[in-house]
Each structure stands twice: as C-alpha cells, then as structure tokens.
Amino acid sequence: MHDLPGIVITGAAGRMGQTLIKAVSDSDAMRLIGVLERPGHAWIGQDIGVAMGGAEMGITVGDDPLEAFASAQAVIDFTAPVATVAHAAIAAQARIVHVIGTTGMDEAELAKIAAAARHATIIRAGNMTLGVNLLTLLTKKVAEALDEDFDIEIVEAHHHHKVDAPSGTALMLGEAAAAGRGVALEDVSDRGRDGISGARKRGNIGFHAIRGGDIAGEHDVIFAAPGERIVLRHIATDRSIFARGALRAALWGQGRDPGEYDMLDVLGLN
C-alpha cells in the first residue's frame, strides 16, 4: 500500500511532459506510476528515464490510458485537444483527478470536457502559474476601473513550435478584461488584423501572437488611451512554473467532488 497519490503523465515526450515527469519524480508528495505517449510513438516500450537521456527510472512508456488510469489517483495532461478529450472520458470512468493544461480546444471539445466533469474532478487552466492567475485578477480590476477610452490589446509571444493562437493564457486574460467591462469576450474579440482592416472599434479587445525561437511564454495586457498607457506583463522564463501549478492542482483535487475547476480555485483566489 502507498499513501502518496499515484500520478500518470500523458504526452511524455513533449516539452511539458518531460518537465512534468521531472517535477513529479522530484516531489515527495506524490509518486509517478505511469507515463503515456501516442500509439506508435518511438518511446513506447522504453524506460522513461533512458528515453529522456538520463538514468533508468523503472517506468515504461505506455500507450493505453485505460490501463494506466485504473491504478492512478490523478492524470496530468498537457497534450493536444483530441487526446485530452479522449483522456477526459477515460479519467471520468476511472473517477480520478484530471489536470488539463492543454490549450486550443474548440467549443465542441470544451463541451465534452464539461460532460466528463460530471463524473471526474477536472482542473483546467490555459496557464497554471500563480503569476498569470494573479494577472487575470489585476486585468479584471483595471478593466473595471477604466472606461472605453482605454483600448485593450493583448500581445503574447511563444516558441516557434506552438500550434494554437491566441494562447490559452491570452484568452484567459481576454476573458478577465471582458468580465471587468461587463461584456462577453466573443462580442468584442478582434483578431488577426491585416491589410486595410479599418480603424479600431471602440470597446474591442485585440489579440496578437508572436511566434519565435524558444520563448517560454510572455503576455502583455495593454490599456492604451490618448496620452498614457498601462501595461500589465507576465514573463515565463522556465517551464517548471507550469509544472509546479499542475502538481499543486493534482494534490488539491484529491477527495474533491466531481466538477470543473480552475487554478483560481486551487490557489484560493476565486
């Protein structure tokens, strides 16, 4: 018998997968009991420590979430929308905590996650860091205090491998700004200006994505008015900050009722 919660990491070969595996292995509050990759991936069947270029860890990379989740207390999932939706249904069957960092999900995929949350404890956030979650609260507060003389623009920068835009974090910040203004983000969201796109519409919230090099993640919320500008900024310099939040969420979720939670719940900031 083990007292510490058993954790499965999906997307084991990914940037976040490897960061999470290291973080769970280093933690004395949980134990790594399984790591998964997509069927057919070159790492399947290898020891995860060796596959990551280090010492043996005694855990073989698998491709069967059903089997891995059956003996786990939580799965931490930073993969891709299609994979995460499939994992959510299996985690719900297994009645385990599902921590979701995956971004870029569409409305239909989010509805499936919500359905799974009827049976599973799901903690999902486009950004798991304390800093960004605090920044959403500040953004809401500033947006509440200012009128539409202040144009809101959200600028995000990420590494050149990132596949989704705007980033999950940018959308969280946009939601916070819209909430502060008392409007729905979908009614004011302004994305992808190009060519003669016309003068900026008062009250809109603009999104801009920079992709390049190895940028871990940078977000600015700009409030620009004639003669002055307020800029709220978060800079991630190390992926371990995302992992730290995800591990905290996996522990926080133990024994919680099924439902969909976010990092503000975990951090006690809601």
Looking at the annotation, which residues are catalytic?
A: 158, 162
Smallest gap from Cβ 200 to ligand LZUJQKHR, in A, equals 24
Residues in contact with ligand NDP by CB under 6 A are 10-11, 13-17, 36-38, 41, 78-80, 83, 101-104, 125-128, 168, 242
Rg of the chain over Cα atoms, rounded to whole angstroms, equals: 20
126 vs 206 by CB, closer to ligand NDP: 126
Tell whether residue 16 is among the known ligand binding residues.
yes
Consult the annotation and say whether 127 binds a ligand: yes
Q: Quick check: bond before 166 cis, omega within 30?
A: yes
Place of tokens 């503000």: 264
The listed partner (ligand NDP, ligand LZUJQKHR, none) that binds 158, CB under 5 to 8 Å by sort, is ligand LZUJQKHR
Q: x-or-dash pattern for ligand LZUJQKHR, window 7-46, by CB under 6 A? A: ----------------------------------------
Q: CA–CA separation, 194 vs 123, rounded Å? A: 36
Angle, CA 234 vertex, CA 163 and CA 13 arms, to 5° = 40
Name which of 43 and 223 has its Cβ closer to ligand NDP. Answer: 43
Report the candidate in 195, 188, 151, 146 with the shortest Cα–Cα distance to residue 171: 188
Burial 95-115 (b: 16+ CB within 10 A, else e): ebbbbbbbbbbeeebeebbee
CB 227 → ligand NDP: shortest distance, Å?
Answer: 36
139 binds ligand LZUJQKHR (CB under 6 A): no
Task: Give the residue with the Cβ less far from ligand LZUJQKHR, 73 or 169.
Answer: 169
Per-position DSSP letters for 200-223, written without gaps between them: PPTT-EEEEEEE-TT--EEEEEEE
Among 18, 19, 121, 167, binds ligand LZUJQKHR (CB under 6 A): 167
Q: How far apart are the first and last CA of the chain?
A: 35
CB of 5 to ligand NDP, least distance (A): 20
DSSP-derived secondary structure letter, 182? T
| Residue 145 marked in a binding site | no
Coil, strand or helix at 254: coil
126 is in an annotated binding site: yes
Please tell me the distance from the alpha carbon of residue 17 to that of residue 59, in angstroms, as a whole number.
14
Chain residues 215-234 in contact with ligand LZUJQKHR, contact rule CB under 6 A = 217
Q: Single out the residue of 263, 170, 176 nearest to residue 211, CA to CA.
A: 170
Among ligand NDP, ligand LZUJQKHR, none, what does residue 14 contact (CB within 5–8 Å per kind)? ligand NDP
**159 assigned ligand-binding residue:** yes
Strands (E), the chain: 6-9, 31-36, 61-62, 74-77, 97-100, 121-124, 151-158, 189-191, 205-211, 217-225, 228-236, 259-261
Determine the residue with CB nearest ligand LZUJQKHR: 217
Q: Which residues bind ligand LZUJQKHR (CB under 6 A)?
A: 103, 126-127, 158, 162, 167-169, 217
As annotated, the binding site includes 11-16, 37-38, 101-103, 125-128, 159, 168-169
- Binding-site annotation, residues for (S)-2,3,4,5-tetrahydrodipicolinate: 159, 168-169
